[in-house]
């Protein structure tokens, strides 16, 4: 299964303070905007999404169809294919993708310890 780009999505209290902190660790803004309440920051091949007032808790995020530079991959597993595989293997989903559509869609699931995982396809 190809899950695409990996990042950690952090729910932050103060986006500017978090941005400043992660810049001190060598991250720079790759996408997003403060006025939209989110930033995607990158250090080498590592991605962190900072989100203010968008969701509760932190989560692992995968983006099928993208590489670590948010560039389109030539070949990737559609989120609906990933969903089908997970369900066939007994994985319970918190939110399922609409199977009759194509293009952007997402699913949510939790690992055995309750950690949220988002598989978010943008194309």
Query: What CATH number has the domain bearing residue 92?
Result: 3.10.180.10
Mean pLDDT of the region 55-79: 94
Q: SS in 3 state form for 20-87?
A: HHHHHCCCEEEEEEHHHCEEEEEECCEEEEEEECCCCCCEEEEECCECCCCCECCCCCCHHHHHHHHH
pLDDT mean across residues, the chain: 96
pLDDT (0 to 100) of residue 85: 97
Which structural domain, as residue segments, surrounds residue 103? 5-121
98 burial class (0-12, 13-18, 19+ CB within 10 angstroms)?
exposed
Q: Using 50, 70 and 90 to split pLDDT, how confident is the model at 35?
A: very high
Number of domains in the chain: 1
pLDDT (0 to 100) of residue 39: 98
Q: Using 50, 70 and 90 to split pLDDT, how confident is the model at 34?
A: very high
How far, in Å, CA of 104 to CA of 78, rounded? 9
H or E segment to which residue 88 belongs: helix 79-88
Q: Using 50, 70 and 90 to split pLDDT, how confident is the model at 20?
A: very high
């Amino acid at each position: 299964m190809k899950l695409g780009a990996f990042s950690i999505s952090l729910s932050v209290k103060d986006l500017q303070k978090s941005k400043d902190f992660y810049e001190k660790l060598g991250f720079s803004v790759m996408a997003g905007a403060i006025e939209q309440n989110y930033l995607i920051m990158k250090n080498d091949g590592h991605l962190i999404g900072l989100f203010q007032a968008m969701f509760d808790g932190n989560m692992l995020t995968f983006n099928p169809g993208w590489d670590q530079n948010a560039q389109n991959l030539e070949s990737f597993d559609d989120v609906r294919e990933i969903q089908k595989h997970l369900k066939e293997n007994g994985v319970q989903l918190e939110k399922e993708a609409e199977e009759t559509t194509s293009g952007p869609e997402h699913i949510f699931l939790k690992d055995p310890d309750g950690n949220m995982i988002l598989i978010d396809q943008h194309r």
